[in-house]
Each structure stands twice: as structure tokens, then as C-alpha cells.
Structure 1
Amino acid sequence: MGYPLVWDLESFFKGGSESEEFAHFVKKIDQTLLQLQGRVELESSIEELETFIHDLQDVMQYAREAGAFVSCLTAQDVSDEKATLWQGEIQEQMTKIQSLAVSLEEKLVALSNDQWETLIALDSLKEVKFNLEERKLAADDKLDPEQEKLAASFAIDGYHAWGNLYNQAVGRMQVPFEEDGEVKQLSAGQLQNRLNSSDRPTRERAFDVSEEAWQKEAPLFASTLNHLAGFRLKLYEARGWEDVLKEPLAINRMESSTLDAMWGAINDNKPRFYEFMDRKAKLLGVEKLAMHDVHAPLPTEKDATISYDDACELIIKHFRKFSPKLATFTEGALRDGWVEAEDRSGKRPGGFCTSFAKSKQSRIFMTYDGSMSNVATLAHELGHAYHGHCLKEKQPFAQRYAMNVAETASTLAETIVADALVSEATDKELKLSLLENKVNRALAFFMNIHSRFLFETRFYEARKEKLVSTKELNELMEEAQREAYGNQLSNYSPTFWASKLHFHITGVPFYNFPYTFGYLFSMGIYKRALDAGRSFEDDYIALLEDTASMSVEDLAKKHLDVDITKKEFWQEAIDVVLADVDEFMELTK
């Protein structure tokens, strides 16, 4: 059967950004928020507070639905000005919801011990007890409620605006690239796909053109990044927070000892990956890998592309071997137009999965070009969608899982497909290519993501003192890459800070280490799944269902019986990857 390449958004709201139905939906959210704002100061009894908590969760779901729709519109067509305007309106609504949440936290803090115990003992709130406790504790560590509300209102035009400006500027970028005897104007996303080409001269040209294009725009992006970080740091300073990792760790419900143990285990094992990088350089016919070689496919005489329909069938097939429930869900999502995969201009770069909370569906965005890397991306985003599916019947507060566990389901989905393909391959050349692709994923999490983490922590420390120039940003980026890659590459990408969207996202700070956490956490889960066989399916679903209701340390202890503040768990997960390195090295002797 054929799977649609373009997603279905009409089933949510007909007419895209001009939809009258959507305009009515947004207006209804505004009216509900107005009513809640009028009630929040009056309600004081436990019964009234219980009702307010449920009503706040409900309007959150409506706003998430609207936000998901707009994010899809702006991604599929970066020139859709109406969608960009809608994005601003939804951000204002989310700010009002944040203000209402601050008011809720204020009320929770004001409760007596007896009142608090009565509230969290209510049957209708048992599912969100952890989330209410989390909010109550967080409130004690912030500014007073009125100041927090003021900061949130200023963020619309002072903080989020910088992220929006970055997105708009990137969306307008058109980069000239000579290909097939003609000069084409490529979007940032299309140029990124050229960097993954199997043809090294193409990659080299794409890398040079990319660096030149991003350097040209760097002064603008240095300004947006500096002001975005400046806003965040001023807020931290007002709250009395000195550690720039305080907020990202709290958002990810994670202890600093866990983060240190994870990076420590990775650094201990990096030399094993340097051997792999040297072997890959030899296979590519170069002395040292360049930045644009690290994730390039191995040279092969076989067709390295796969059609979209075949990729969908392949993913469903291998998901079914691991989890029939995951496979059935995936088949329905692909069949029903949950994925936007068409390779066309005008789309934003990258890929994502977004949840339509009220409709209990997801939509996946990517640009599919037939590479195995794109197959991995599709499997990854389908993993996100399945995670949301497992939580869709929970109360909204209990659906809000953090980034690090969000990346667990997605990277596990990637691993299922990648591992199955390697085990089934009978042709040596194909097996090598697939193994290399698997190890490449580890390099991305252990080195590329590590370089982002190093850059961002150092940038924020520098930004505390002054505005950081384009030249200094380039130097910080290259220094971080040299350290993260063990100085094993022949060149680096100084402008990566400008080209990587994650540095400019305002929704969450430090959009980097959660990827590595999710990858290795999923490796640990995958090992246990292999040991347990098909019986692990329900255990896996139970783990996903708990991801928004406890810290990651408690989650790991409850479902895996491990202490992730120690290196042992992380080493065990890395060993799964090292087995692939060993097999690759053996096959390429």
C-alpha cells in the first residue's frame, strides 16, 4: 500500500492558517482564560481549588492543540505570515496559562499542612499528586508570584521574540548550490541533506557553502542568541540562581550527579570510538575524518536509498518483532496521514513530533530524501508519537514528561529498526553500512551533543559578563567541538552555534544533554528488553506511563532497579554500543 507523504491537518481545522474554525477555537481559549483569571483570586476552598486545577489542565490541552496546529503550519511553509501571527497569539495564551499556573502554585504554598493533605488525597487528583508537589516546591524557589507573572508577560516580546526572529530569518535563507550543472537555491533543510551525501565532493562543497552562508548571517544570529541568553540570565539572577544548569536539570527532573555520571562514563569510553573514526577515515580514503565525514555513509556500490513506502513497511515490520502494540499504532499513524515527509522547498529544516492534546493524536514533520538517516529519523519521531499515545488518557499534568525521557522512546524506536537491519543483513557491504550507521548515532550523542553542551555552558558563563561577539562564539564552538571529538577531526564547524536551531529555542533551556540521556537510557532499556523477550512490552508501556510522574532517578529505580547516579548503569548501556564497534572493527580488518 502507499503511505501519504503529506500530513493531514484538515481533520483538525479546515483551511490552514485562514481557517475560521481555528479562529473560533482560539477565541474560545481566550474566553476560557478570561473566566479563569476572574476566578483565580476568589477561589479558596479545597473544593474550588480542585475544580480550578482541572479547569486549568483542560485549557492547557486546548492551547497545546492550537500550538501544535500552528507549529505544523509554520514548519510546512516558512513563508506563511498568517501562521506566524497565530504563533504570537498562542504564545500570549501560553503566557496567560503560565500566569494562572503561578497563581495555582501561590495557592498551594499558602495551604496549611492539613489542607494540603486533604487536597492531594482527593481521588480526582491522585494521578497528578507528584505534579502538584513538584509545583509547590518549585514555587518556593522563584520570585514572588506577581513578579513571575510580570516576567512571563515581558517574555513574549523580549524572550520568545528572539527565538521567533531566528526562525523567520532561517526560513528566509536561500543558499545557492551548484548541482547537476546548474545553480539551485536551497533552503537550510535541503542543504543539510547534501551534507549527508554519499559523494564526498558534494559533502565538501555543501560544507563550505554552509559555513559561508551561516557566517554571512552570523551577526544577526549572534544578536538573537545574546539577547535570548541575556533575558534568561537576568531572570535567573533575580531568582538568586547562580548555576545555569539549575533550570534545565529541574525541567528534566534530574540530579546533577546523574548528569555527571553519564558524561563521565562517556568520556571514559571515547578512545574506543576514536579507533572506529580512524577506521572509517581509512575506508573513506582520507587521513582524518572531516566534520562533514563523521556522519557520511560508507562508499558502496549498492543503491543507498529506500523509497518512503518501503521505509514505512520496514519500520512496521521491525517494530512488530519488538512490540505488536507499537507496530499497530505505527501502521495507523502512517496510514492516516500523521507524517509530513515530502521533499520540497519552503519547509523549515529538521524534524519533530508534536502532540494534538485534545484530539489525542500526533503529527510528525521531516523532509524525507530516501537515506538510511532519514529512515532513522522517521522511526525516531514515531517513537515520540507512541510515547504520547501511551499517555493520552492521563490527566494533562501527568502527560507533561521532560525532554530526557521524551528522547528515550524515540531513540529506542530507532534502535529497534537499526539493530534488526544489522542482524538480518547477509551481504557484508550492507552489514558494514548498517553497523556504521548505528555507531554514527552514538558519535552524535557522545560527541556532537557533548560539544553542544560544552559550548552552551561556556557561552552562558561568558554571557554573564558581557555580550559575546560572533568571533568569540565561533571560537567557543570550535573549542567545544575539538574537546568533544578528542581533536580527532581535520576540520570543525565554527558556525554550528548559528545553524543549530536548538541553541535558539526558548521553550526549554539546554536542548542538548537530554538527547544523550535518552539515547543511553534507551540502550539500558533495550538490553533488558532483549533479555526478557516479548514479555517486556507491557513493562515498557508501564515505564512510559510513569515518565511524567516521577524523577528520572526514581523511574530508573522502579522499572529497571538501577541507580543512574552511578557510572555502572551508563557503562552497561555504552557496552551495547561498543559491541557494534567491535563487530565493525572485526569486519573491516
Structure 2
Amino acid sequence: MFNASFPRNPAGGPAQATKSGDEALGRLPEWDLTHLYPGASSPEFNNAFDEAAKKARSFSARWKGKLEEAAGKTGDDGLGAAIETYEALGDTLGRLGSFAGLSYYANAADPALRKLYGDTSARITEIYADLLFFELELNRLDEETINKALEADARFAHYHPWVLDLRLEKPHQLDDRIEQLFMEKSTTGGQAFNRLFDQTMDRMRFTVDGEELPLEKTLNLLSDAKEPVRRKAAEALAATFKDNLPTFSLIMNTVAKDTEINSRWHAFEDIADSRHLSNRVEREVVDALTEAVREAYPRLSHRYYAMKAKWLGMEQMNYWDRNAPLPDAAERVIPWDEARDTVLSAYGAFSPEMADIARRFFDEQWIDAPIRSGKRTGAFAHPTVPSAHPYVLVNYLGKPRDVMTLAHELGHGVHQVLAAKQGALMCSTPLTLAETASVFGEMLTFRALLSQTTDKAKRKAMLAQKVEDMINTVVRQIAFYQFERKVHTARREGELTEDQINEMWMSVQAESLGPAIKLADGYETYWSYVPHFIHSPFYVYAYAFGDCLVNSLYAVYQNAESGFQDKYFEMLTAGGTKHHSELLKPFGLDASDPAFWSKGLSMIEGLIDELEALDKE
């Protein structure tokens, strides 16, 4: 997962650090997308498209129908030379797509940027029509031919990990013309409904005490210290979600059906198997994770929320109290500069090199931090392409959670910088391992702050917030995954009504959150704003996978005498060249072992134990 010049900066020059509406935050940076292209109307951007289209046609003319012959050759006539050209074209198209997409996500309210994103996506799809044959034809070569080419051609052998991954797709590969149809129709299918979702979310406003607020600021009120503020925000969210429910229901139904059609035609057995394949993780491993987390619900979320209800003086919390601060938690806005220094210090204590890479994001304008109309909610780190550098988007409000989000996304960014060394075809890390560096970065930052905190009330507040974040990352995301499975399974039998989707949502939420939280009227619509359900079906278990993995990994780090940092950097630098079993082996970890997940979950349980002990002091 894209830019052009922003409306506030129509010439397309470097964006300047801007002042937030809240002076306490300090100057918040905006990213500089001219590192990719000077602007959407620049000769560089338009010429890159024309040149890519020309090279794609030449590539097709040079190699289509000739890969078996090339497999018996080396040098510029061998498969290695073909892949090098293919990879270079992918880098160019990825840069173009990144430019348009990042522009769109920075301000989806601008019609010009929406058009740029749509036109760029369509044009890239058209160019890929000339390249689609390559992977399909390469996969039709028999194993003996591939193995001989790997032995004879060193340039081809360099891409051995990518070739192995590609071969996994072979059982699900269709005729070239059918695959081309799927690709071209994607712009009017799933991709179109992705855009409809984004634009619907951008237009929505939520009325709280007479003020019209965007989603990000309204969600932020759910962690306000005052219960009436939280309640009004929750009711405003529910009311607007309900008004838009027919649209969201249509989008969900369409995406689920689109996913089912793709899975059926490509001969995937389970509704999530295509995601598992792209993640290079076995279904059995994901099932083991899911069951381990579900079995742990009573020990984790149910237990913690019962404790929190007592701290808030309630027998049962309403759903809008779930992320409320503790009664004695100090409220303070954390300025941007302090957040930056906190994260860089924590990273530097682990590895100076890690801090040096993260510092570039601040110094070289690779971060977009202010909240503004039209900007995508939440946060992400986008790798762009190896010939450029990643970008990070956050919506910074100065809360402790925002500092953790910054640490999380910079972990992604560091990972993406290191993995870029593998090149455009092999830098991409499967989603299950893509969350490793981000969650590890969060953990480093949390542990650094906790070690400096001796005040009991502050320590309790920090522990509680970390437990809540981990519950949101593990318990909540597995509940999301279960919800998706229910929706996609039921959609195979016909279109789902709004009430049916709501009921599925409420059932998994009740199971995961437990009896200490009252799911009052209105909450049944809250599934509608989760972008992962639309943009990346079944993505969400990757968060739980990453959190549990990092919990186990961090335990190894705490007990390691030396050499951990080197092994950790080797893991990140590997990108997509190794299976998760290979990457975890140097740390003595095995995700196929049920005890692995129990070990990760026990760390969350240990933090809850520590909170309980603080209560008794």
C-alpha cells in the first residue's frame, strides 16, 4: 500500500513543519514527497509513466513465450537478466504508485488528489498487463528446468528466495487471459470499494456538544478522563455510523463477495488461505494462535476489565469506558519534540544504529504528523520502493498512546530501510513478520519509560495502558479475525443484512471483552469504521502474531548475554527472503509449537499480575 503536491503547497515543493492547533504539541512535521517526484504535473512524473509503459512493451516483446529457452542460457540472455529488468520496472511503478497514494492519503478530500490516485492506479494496471505474463510463464516451467537454471545462472540464483515463493502460487495460477481479466477488473471491483470506504470515512462528521468533529478527534474523546465526554463521543459515533450503515454494509458485502470469487477461482480451500499464502504462514499456525488467544480471554481481557471497572468505581463499564484513563492518571500533553527524543533514546539504548536510522525520519522529513481535514485516520509506515525511502503517517495528539504509535511506526520504518537492501522483489516482509520490528520498537520505548518511573500511581497508569494496548493488539485483533471469518463464511450463502453483520460483531465482541463491559445500544455499528476489513481482509491476525512473537523475542533479549542485536538486525535485513521458521530459529523460537503462543501470552498475564500486586500494596 502511493503523491502529488498538497493543496497547501500547490507547487509541489518541500512541505514545511507546521503548527498544530494545540500549541502544547509544538511544531508538527509534514512529509516531503518531492523525494519521489517534484509534483503530479512535473515532467519527471509524467515521463516516468511514459518510459515505464515503453519498457514494459519492450520487455513483453523480448521475453514473452521465450522463458524456457532463456532458462538454458546465462548472461544477458538468461532468466537472471529478465528478472533484473522486471524488478527495475516494478521499482519504477511502485514509486509512481507511492507518490499518488501518499498524496491521496494525506488529503483524500481534495478532488484533484482523488483523481490522481484513481488515474495512477488505472495506468499502473494497464502497464502491468504487459508484465503479467512473466510470473505466470515462469511458474509453468518444470522443476528440473528451474533447478538447472539456478545452478547455471548466478544472476538468476540471486533471486532463488523469490522464485521459491513464486512457486507456492503455482497451484492457484489460472490461464494468462483470466489472470489479466482479474487484474484489470480489480480497479472497478475491490479497489473501487476501497476508495468508496475511504471517501465515506473522510466525509463523515460526528456532532459532540454542537461541534462537528472528524473521526480521529472523536475517537480520541473515548479516552477522555470525563465519563460524559466519552459517552457523548460514543453516541455521536454510533449515530453517524448508523446513518451510513447501508453504505458500509454494501461495501462489506461487496468486498467479501469479491474475496470469495478470487478464492474460488484460484482454488483456495479456506476463506483466509489466500492471505495465509501471501503471509507465507501455514493455516495450522494461525489456527493455533487463534485458539491460544481465545482460550486466554478469561485470563487476559475478562480479568483486566473486571479490575478496571473496580478502579473506575463501577460494577460494569460501558463500552465507551474501555479506554478511559485511570482515576489517578496524570493528564499531560506530550510535545512532539519530547516524543521524538523519547523514542530515539529508547532505540539508541538498544542499538545506536537503530536510532540513527529512525532519526533520519525526523531530520529528512519522512513523517507526516498533524491532524487535518481529509487526512487518513490512524497511522502507517509505507515502504515505497528500495530506490527511495519509507514514509510514516501519524495523527499526533500528544497522548502517551501517540508516543507508542510513533515508536511502532518507526519500528516499521527501520525494518523497511534495512530490508530495502534485498531489492524490490525480495524486500517485502510477510505481514505476520512485518509487525515484529514495530511491536519491538513499542516494547523498547515502554520498558525504557517504565524503568524511569518510581511513583506508584504513574507506574500503575503506565502498566495499565500497556496492558490495554496489548489487549487491543492481541485479543481485539483475534476477535476482528473471528468476525471476518463469520462474515465471509455467511456471505457465501447470500448477501448479508445490516442486522446480520451487527449480530456477528456483537457476538465476537461479547466473547472477547467479557462480562465486565456492557455493550450498550449503538456499539453494534462499530465494525463499520475498521479499515482493515475493507483494505486487507484477514490482515488483522498479523498484529496478534507480531505481538506474541515479540513478547517471546523480548524475553530472549532480556536473557541474552550478547549477540542479540546482531541477530535481530539480520532478521530485519532479510526482508522476504526467509520463512518465519528460518528467521526465528537463531533465537530458539518456533511458531509451530503451541508453547510458543502460550509464552507470548504469559507476558501479558504477567503485567496484569503486576497490576494486581500494586493494588494490594
TM-score above 0.5, yes or no = yes
- Of 70, 92, 107, which residue of structure 1 is paired with 2:100? 70
TM-score, length basis structure 2: 0.90
In the aligned structure 2, how far is the partner of 1:129 from the partner of 1:96?
A: 28
1:356-435 to 2 correspondences below 5 Å: 356-435=384-463
Identity of aligned residues (%): 24
Within 5 Å, give how 1:36-115 maps onto structure 2. 36-44=59-67, 45-46=70-71, 47-96=77-126, 99=129, 102-115=132-145
- Alignment partners' CA distance in 2, 1:526 and 1:97: 44
- Alpha-carbon distance in 2 for matches of 1:586, 1:98: 59
Alignment of 1:554-569 (within 5 A): 554-556=582-584, 558-569=585-596
Q: Which of the numbers 148, 162, 183 marks the counterpart of 2:179? A: 148
Distance 1:57 1:281 in 2: 54
In structure 2, the residue corresponding to 1:583 is in which secondary structure?
helix
1:21–1:290 CA distance, 2 compared to 1 (3 A):
farther
Aligned equivalent of 2:303: 275
Please give the per-residue CA displacement for 1:523-560, whole angstroms capped at 9, x wherever unaligned. 1111111212563111101111234123223332x332
CA distance, structure 2, for counterparts of residue 257 and residue 204 of structure 1? 41
Partner of 2:38: 14
Whether the 8 Å contact between 1:254 and 1:553 is mirrored in structure 2 is no
Verify the 8 A CA contact 1:284 1:299 in the aligned structure 2.
Answer: yes
- 1:138 matched to 2:169? The reply is yes
Question: Aligned in 2, Cα 1:112/1:11: closer, same or farther, shift over 3 Å?
Answer: closer
Compute the displacement of 1:48 (Å).
4.2
Indicate which of 212, 217, 242 corresponds to 2:269: 242
SS in 1 for 2:435: helix
The answer to whether the 8 A contact 1:190-1:345 is kept is no
Residues 357-401 of structure 1: CA deviation (Å, up to 9, x unaligned): 144311111110000111111111000000011112112221121
**Among residues 472, 496, 517, which one is paired with 1:468 in the alignment?**
496
1:253 alignment counterpart: 280
Query: Aligned AA for 1:32?
Result: K
User: What is the TM-score normalised by the length of structure 1?
Assistant: 0.94
Q: Which residue of 1 aligns with 2:337?
A: 309
Q: 1:26 and 2:49 equivalent?
A: yes
Distance 1:536 1:360, change over 3 A: farther
> SS where residue 474 of structure 2 aligns?
helix
- Aligned-partner Cα distance in 1 for 2:374–2:185: 31
Instruction: Tell me if 1:494 matches 2:524.
Output: yes
Partner Cα separation in structure 1 for residue 562 and residue 334 of structure 2:
29
1:300 & 1:552 partners in 2: Cα distance?
Answer: 42
CA contact (8 A) 1:405 1:547 kept: no
CA contact (8 A) 2:484 2:537 kept: no
| 1:431 Cα deviation after fit | 0.7
Residue 189 in structure 1 maps to residue 216 in structure 2: yes
* 1:323-377 superposed Cα distances (whole Å, 9 cap, x missing partner): 2111111122112211111133332211111123144311111110000111111
Name the Cα RMSD after superposition. 2.1
Residue pair 1:120, 1:126 contacting (<8 A) in 2 also? yes
Q: Is 1:284 aligned with 2:312? A: yes
Q: Distance in 2 between matches of 1:289 and 1:256?
A: 36
Deviation at 1:304, TM superposition (A): 3.0
The answer as to whether partners of 1:105 and 1:136 remain within 8 angstroms in 2 is no
How far apart in 2 are the matches of 1:114 and 1:444?
A: 48
Q: Runs in 1 of length 4+ with deviation above 6 angstroms?
A: none
The 3 A distance-change label for structure 1 pair 267 and 583 is same
Q: Secondary structure at the residue paired with 1:300?
A: coil
Q: 2:361 aligns with which of 320, 330, 333?
A: 333
8 Å CA contact 1:63–1:90 kept in 2: the answer is: no
**Would the aligned equivalents of 2:334 and 2:399 in 1 still touch at CA under 8 Å?**
yes
Q: Does 1:157 align with 2:188?
A: yes
For structure 2, the 5+ residue unaligned runs are 1-16, 18-25, 72-76
**Conserved in 1, the CA contact under 8 Å of 2:136 and 2:176?**
yes
1:137-165: CA deviation from partner (whole Å, max 9, x where unpaired): 31232322221111111111122111111
**Equivalent-residue separation in structure 1 for 2:290 and 2:568 (angstroms):** 25
Aligned residues: 581
Tell me the amino acid that sits aligned with residue 196 of structure 1.
S
